[in-house]
Structures are given as C-alpha cells and as structure tokens.
Amino acid sequence: MDIHTSSIPIGIAICAPVGNYAGGKAEHLDDQFAMGRRAPTLLIADKRVAVLFIAVLFMAVLFVAVLFMAVLFVVILFVAVLSKY
C-alpha cells in the first residue's frame, strides 16, 4: 500500500474521534447545525470536499492540456526540421 492510499484510513482514524468528541458536546439540536444554518455540518463538509475535488480535477485537466500542447509543439517542430532535408 502506498503513502496516498494509507493516508485515507489514517485521516479517518484521526478525524472520526475528534468529530465524535465534538458531536458529543452538542446539547441541543441547533448545536449540530453549522453557524446557524439549517444544514448539518456533514453536508457542509461534503460540499467542501466536492469543491476541493473539482479544483484538483481542474488542475489535472489543465495539466493534461498543457502536456498535450507541449507534445504537439515538439511534433510540429520535429516536422519543420525534417521538412528542411
């Protein structure tokens, strides 16, 4: 198992007890909602994870596009050099 795969259960093992402890300190139902909103903290956390995932996905797509353009540039340069001979 590599470091990236093993970091997932380690992160869950760290976050689950902290969340359980913080959730146990809530005395009223309104304490379970984030900053007075009528959305549970779990949904807000899911939204933040989704935003992070979208940002990482965008960077990956951007990287692939730049890589494709670099390969295309090298191919065009190679064809231009070969056409002189």
Instruction: Look up residue 15 and give its two tokens.
Output: 């976050």
Tell me: do 22 and 56 sit in the same domain. Answer: no
CB 34 within 8 A of CB 41: yes
How much is the pLDDT for 17? 80
Best CA proximity match to 23, nearest among 11, 41, 43, 8:
41
Tell me: do 20 and 43 sit in the same domain. Answer: no
CB 33 within 8 A of CB 40: yes
The secondary structure of residue 39, as a DSSP letter, is S
Tell me: do 28 and 3 sit in the same domain. Answer: yes
Work out how many domains the chain is built from and give that number.
2
Domain encompassing residue 22: 1-32
Tell me: do 27 and 41 sit in the same domain. Answer: no
Mean pLDDT by 10 residues, the chain (85 residues): 78 76 66 60 68 85 92 91 80
Tell me: do 12 and 42 sit in the same domain. Answer: no
DSSP result, 51-73: HHHHHHHHHHHHHHHHHHHHHHH
How much is the pLDDT for 26? 64
Whole-model pTM: value is 0.42
Tell me: do 24 and 57 sit in the same domain. Answer: no
Tell me: do 52 and 19 sit in the same domain. Answer: no
